[in-house]
Amino acid sequence: MKVLLAEYTASRDPALAPEGKAMLDVLNKSFAACGYEVVLPGPGDFSAEIARLAPACDMGLVIAPDAMLAKFSLPIEQHSHSLGCGSMNAAVCANKRSTEKILRAHGIPVPGPAPAEGKHIVKPVTGCDALGVRLTTDAPGKDEIAQEYITGELYSVSLVLSRVVGEACLYFSGNPPLVLSVNRQDVVANSDGTFTYRGGETPVHPAREQEIVETAKKAATVLGCQGYCGVDVIVADKVYVLDVNPRITTSIVGIAACMGEEIAALLVSASEGATPSAVHFHGRIRFDRYGKVTPA
């Protein structure tokens, strides 16, 4: 069977290319290990390449910045079997303003509005990977939002969710999200107020792990995420959701290095409504944004 792995940044976005290549390498190896023939887009127009290749593939997955995810996922949904989040839900998650509004309406803690005075967080409405996120006293610019600055411990939760929308009549099972791991995030504050994501450590088991996991599961479920999803949180007086990424995230580099199951098999099973109840890890791994892994 053929699977289309459409990763955007490796050859088209120098700022995010290292992470894109690292994620693509993990997926490429996993699908090959599971017996799939992997098909990759050529160097031409990305949308056109997906539309050209998807009809000849049995399934496909897009890995791209959140703002582009819905657009590039749609042709796979139309011409093949998508292993990722539905395009409509991906579009909602890409808009941090909409995501914040939905999560707050469902009682999920999110950062509050920026205070009238003092420093606060400003970030792009459709950004990713901490690009454009900064601690500042300035007002947000066009297509940016401002939030209160919360200090605490940064984690992400990696989930795989079964099919809930899209081909729901064919694959809906009602299975709960599969929790792959809680990951400690390595994010540094720079002297100019910006932030840099450097990688992380997985799996970790913080004192409030259950609260972290339940918050992440609820956030991803409320937003209708499917397939692999990463939920970024900060643990303070509450577990606050900072971002919901309805796509493969860099944490997969560390997860794949110490998880007994193949991530490709999990994604295919989830796309058909059938995920296992748990996965198994051997050891703990540190990973960076370039794909390097070392024992923790």
Q: What is the predicted pLDDT for the residue at 129?
A: 76
Give the model's confidence band at 170: pLDDT under 50 very low, under 70 low, under 90 confident, else very high.
confident
The answer, yes or no, to whether residue 69 has pLDDT greater than 70, is: yes
Burial 174-198 (b: 16+ CB within 10 A, else e): ebebbbbbbbbbbbeeeeeeebebe
With CA atoms as reference, report the closest residue to 30 among 285, 260, 277. 260
Average of per-residue pLDDT across 45-58: 96
> Is 85 within 8 Å of 225 (Cβ atoms)?
yes
**pLDDT at res. 250:** 96
Cα–Cα distance, 270 to 262 (Å, whole number): 13
Backbone φ, ψ for residue 125 (5° rounding): -65, -35
Using left for φ > 0, alpha for ψ between -120 and 50, and beta otherwise, residue 4 falls in beta
> Taking the model in full, what pTM does it have?
0.95
* pLDDT for the residue 240: 98
* Domain segments of the chain as ranges: 2-109+148-295
Tell me what the pLDDT averaged over the chain comes to.
94
What CA–CA distance (Å, rounded) separates 267 from 82?
10
165 has pLDDT over 70: no
Query: What is the pLDDT, as a whole number, of residue 172?
Result: 77
Residues facing residue 240 across a β-bridge: 234
Which CATH number describes the domain made up of 2-109+148-295? 3.30.470.20
224-253: per-residue pLDDT in tens? 999 999 999 999 999 999 999 999 999 999
Residue type at position 144: E
Supply 292's token pair.
């390097």
Q: What is the mean pLDDT of residues 75-93?
A: 93
Residue 11 confidence (pLDDT): 85
Q: Are strands 59-63 and 2-7 parallel, antiparallel or unpaired?
A: parallel
